[in-house]
Structure 1
Amino acid sequence: MSTATDDRDTADPPDEGWPTGRRRDPVTRTRRWATDRPVLLAAALAALAVGVWACWSVTVDDAYITYRYSANLAHGFGPTWNPGQDPVEGFTNFTWMVWHAPWVWLGVPLPVVSKLTAAGCAAAIVWVLVTEPRTRSGAALAAGSFVLFLPTWVHVDSGLETAPFALVVLRATVLAARLLRDRDAAVRSWEIPALLLLAGTLRPDGVLGALPALAVLLWVRRADRSVWVATGAAAVVGGVYLAARRAYFGHLLPNTFYVKVGVEAATDGRWIQTTAATLLPLLALAVAALLRPRTAAPAALVLASCIALWIIPALSAPAMDYLSRFAWHGFPLVCLAAAWALDTVEVRRVAAGAAAAGVVWTAAAGVLAPDARTLVNYGDDLRRSHIAIGLALADTDLPAGERTLAVTDAGAMPYFSGWRTTDYIGLNDERIAHGANPTDVLLADDPQVVVVTSGSPVPPPGSWRTDLPRVLAGRELVGVAQMRPEYFQLVFATPDVAAQVRAALDRRLAEGRAVTDTRLDPGYARWIVRLLGLS
Structure 2
Amino acid sequence: MLRVPRPPAERSAPARPVRARPALFLAALAALAVGVWACWSVTVDDAYITYRYTANLAHGFGPTWNPGADPVEGYTNFLWMLWHIPWVWLGVPLPVVSKLTAATCAAAIVWILATEPRTRTGAALAVGAFVLFLPTWVHVDGGLETAPFALVVLRAVVVAARLLRDRDATVRSWELPALFLVAGMLRPDGILAVAPPLAVWAWLRRRDRRTWTALIVAAAIGGAYTAWRWSYFGHPLPNTFYVKVGVEAATDGRWIRTTLALLLPLLLLAVAGLFRRSTAPVVAVALASCVALYAIPALTAPAMDYLSRFAWHGFPVLCLAAARTIDAVGRRRLAAVGAAVAVGWTSVAGFLQPDGPTMVNYGEDLRRVHIAIGLGLADADVPADRRTVAMTDAGAIPYFSGWRATDYIGLNDERIGHGASPTDVLLADEPTVLVATGPTPELQTTSWNTDLPTAVGDRELVAVLRARPAYYQQVYADRDVADQVRTAIERRVAEADAVTDGRFDQTYSRWAQRLLGLSG
Instruction: Give your verdict on TM over 0.5.
Output: yes
Q: 1:106: which partner in 2?
A: 90
**SS state of the match for residue 266, structure 1?**
coil
Q: 2:481: which partner in 1?
A: 497
**SS state of the match for residue 279, structure 1?**
helix
What is the CA-CA distance between 1:261 and the residue it aligns to?
Answer: 0.5
Give the counterpart of 2:451 among 467, 485, 488.
467
Q: Are 2:343 and 1:359 aligned?
A: yes
Q: Are 2:495 and 1:511 aligned?
A: yes
Give the gaps of 5 or more residues in structure 1: 10-32
Are the counterparts in 2 of residues 406 and 447 from structure 1 also a CA contact under 8 Å? yes
**SS state of the match for residue 144, structure 1?**
helix
Cα distance in 2, alignment partners of residues 120 and 225 from structure 1: 35
What is the CA-CA distance between 1:368 and the residue it aligns to?
Answer: 0.4
Q: 2:429: which partner in 1?
A: 445
What is the CA-CA distance between 1:119 and the residue it aligns to?
Answer: 0.3
Letter of the 1:82 counterpart = N
**SS state of the match for residue 279, structure 2?**
helix
Q: 1:262: which partner in 2?
A: 246
Q: 1:170: which partner in 2?
A: 154
Q: 2:5: which partner in 1?
A: none
Are the counterparts in 1 of residues 15 and 165 from structure 2 also a CA contact under 8 Å? no
Q: 2:57: which partner in 1?
A: 73
Structure 1 outlier segments of 4+, above 6 Å: none
**SS state of the match for residue 278, structure 2?**
helix
What is the CA deviation profile of residues 27-77 of structure 1, one whole-angstrom value per residue up to 9, with x for unaligned ones? xxxxxx958x11000000100000000000000000000000000000000
Are the counterparts in 2 of residues 114 and 160 from structure 1 also a CA contact under 8 Å? yes
Give the counterpart of 2:133 among 149, 172, 184.
149
Cα distance in 2, alignment partners of residues 463 and 270 from structure 1: 23
Q: Are 2:211 and 1:211 aligned?
A: no
What is the CA-CA distance between 1:294 and the residue it aligns to?
Answer: 1.2
Cα distance in 2, alignment partners of residues 184 and 429 from structure 1: 51
RMSD: 1.2
Q: Are 2:257 and 1:238 aligned?
A: no
**SS state of the match for residue 134, structure 1?**
coil
What is the CA-CA distance between 1:130 and the residue it aligns to?
Answer: 0.3
Q: 2:315: which partner in 1?
A: 331
Is 41-50 or 504-513 further displaced after alignment? Answer: 504-513
Q: Are 2:11 and 1:8 aligned?
A: no
**SS state of the match for residue 476, structure 2?**
strand
**SS state of the match for residue 465, structure 2?**
strand
Are the counterparts in 1 of residues 19 and 115 from structure 2 also a CA contact under 8 Å? no
Letter of the 1:55 counterpart = C
TM-score when scaled to structure 1? Answer: 0.94
What is the CA-CA distance between 1:6 and the residue it aligns to?
Answer: 4.9
What is the CA-CA distance between 1:510 and the residue it aligns to?
Answer: 1.4
Cα distance in 2, alignment partners of residues 473 and 447 from structure 1: 11
Q: 1:390: which partner in 2?
A: 374
Cα distance in 1, alignment partners of residues 309 and 366 from structure 2: 19
TM-score when scaled to structure 2? Answer: 0.97
What is the CA deviation profile of residues 90-145 of structure 1, one whole-angstrom value per residue up to 9, with x for unaligned ones? 00000000101110000000000000000000000000000000101100000000
Cα distance in 1, alignment partners of residues 351 and 456 from structure 2: 41
Q: 1:128: which partner in 2?
A: 112
- How many residue pairs get matched? 510
Are the counterparts in 2 of residues 6 and 134 from structure 1 also a CA contact under 8 Å? no
Q: 2:70: which partner in 1?
A: 86
What is the CA deviation profile of residues 295-345 of structure 1, one whole-angstrom value per residue up to 9, with x for unaligned ones? 100100011100000000000000000000000000000000000001111
Cα distance in 1, alignment partners of residues 19 and 189 from structure 2: 38
Give the gaps of 5 or more residues in structure 2: 1-7
Are the counterparts in 1 of residues 32 and 137 from structure 2 also a CA contact under 8 Å? yes
Aligned residues: percent identity? 71
**SS state of the match for residue 84, structure 2?**
helix
Give the counterpart of 1:322 among 298, 306, 314.
306
| Alignment of structure 1 residues 340-419 onto 2, 5 Å | 340-419=324-403
Q: Are 2:438 and 1:454 aligned?
A: yes
Q: Are 2:100 and 1:116 aligned?
A: yes
What is the CA-CA distance between 1:8 and the residue it aligns to?
Answer: 2.9
